[in-house]
Chains A and B, each alone.
Chain A
Amino acid sequence: MEKSHRLILVYLSLMFALVLAVVPLPAIVKLFRPDWPLLVLFYWALALPFRVSIGTAFVTGFLLDVLVGTVLGVNALAYSVIIYFCSAHHLKIRNFSILQQSLVTALFLAFYHYFIFWLSHFLTGVVFTMAYLWPVVTGAAVWPWIFWLLRRIRRQFKIH
């Protein structure tokens, strides 16, 4: 009972990240918006691989699809695949230093954006420009802070 009570915090953080993903921003800033839900998912998949895994990733991705209006299932698929790799290697990634983790995050984010692009290209026919990859840079830059914040939350509330 208590355990499930604490897990709600995980879902709340994901919900908050989803809200951040749709907060209206000026057009110039919007280009640099990090993929908050994916970063938060990434942390929880590393910290609690037996609680947060592909199922949670799928649902979060699906909600993002509904919120931002991409073809249903695109983000769900991308999130599931990324969190699969993340869960499969969570023991390795956990042991990296925070800088190395940032680099790995950038790698995953770049993969995510290329994946989304290819799916959207196939489904709706969009054209690629390098500006789409800005969130990779900003995502890697905010990762240490997300890591620090979520670890504090996890330790404070003893979520495992």
Chain B
Amino acid sequence: MKFLDEYRDAKGAQRYARLIRRMTTRPWTIMEVCGGQTHAIVKFGVDELLPKEITLVHGPGCPVCVTPVELINKAIAIASRPEVIFCSFGDMLRVPGTEKDLLSVKAGGGDVRIVYSPLDALKLARENSARQVVFFAVGFETTAPANAMAVYQAHRQGVANFSVLVSHVLVPPAMEAVLSSPNNRVQGFLAAGHVCTVMGYTEYEPIAAKHRCPIVVTGFEPLDILQGIAMCVRQLEQGRAEVENQYARSVRRDGNQPAQKIIREVFTVVPRKWRGIGEIPQSGLGLRGDYAAFDAEQRFGVADQHVEEPAECISGLVLQGVKKPRECPAFGARCTPEHPLGATMVSNEGACAAYYRYRRQK
């Protein structure tokens, strides 16, 4: 397929693998931030092409994984109400809350619908004025502009029966948290190409400088990832710690200005809890000013709560790159995609789920 197959070419992959082998003189640990990259690495077997000195660890960039269980419980409580049409991206439906998931709410008669865009949910709200339409606004900086636009339009058009359950998280504070952790072993980052398409990469420059850690903005296809690793290894071997852009066909330094503008219009930066990690200051987005009227948590009065993660689950350590999925004794035994103990086994893009699906018996 045009624009895809050329980034999945076996000869090109081998060429980059050789380049990385030639450059590498000692062990390096590199973290890919985004769940989409983790998935591609494990699915295509990118890491199998690397020299043994290079360790890839998998970062906290899977929005499904890091959405706290409290918020899933709130989603379930709202979706169970008879007046509500609850709209979500598909992969949130399977994520278990404390007692059940949104698919079970649907099986029990709840009106839970998969949408492809928050604007589809807004359209549903206009067409169903007697119902309350709630959109589960999950994701990183990538989904924030479209979700902001839905709230902005609802406000302008006075669609009073529309609201959003917000669980937006931001990448740079999570990277900062990983690097600041006493257990940190990450020496270089592949930053998430799609996040940087929206936000640009100026935010990463102080992080690279402060922690002496190279950051390479990287795409999602096997060749993108191999090239990103090669650029990162070159910096590490040369003792540089800069922000470089592998994904130049999509990312500019300043990102997408109109998208950033709509995010700033509707959202403000707030502290957020990350499933498996805990609260990270200034790491999320919440509705701001007049737009707070569209906050589903307020509208439905779903109470604050605190849920303990299973003690056996090490997903927090996996999300921070401290442990690999197979280092967990529960992996593949007491913890499977059908019955996940924690965040990283839940989503297809979670590191544990990717290992389970693609290489559990090696």
| A, B from the same assembly | no
- Interfacial residues, chain B to chain A (CB-CB below 8 A): none
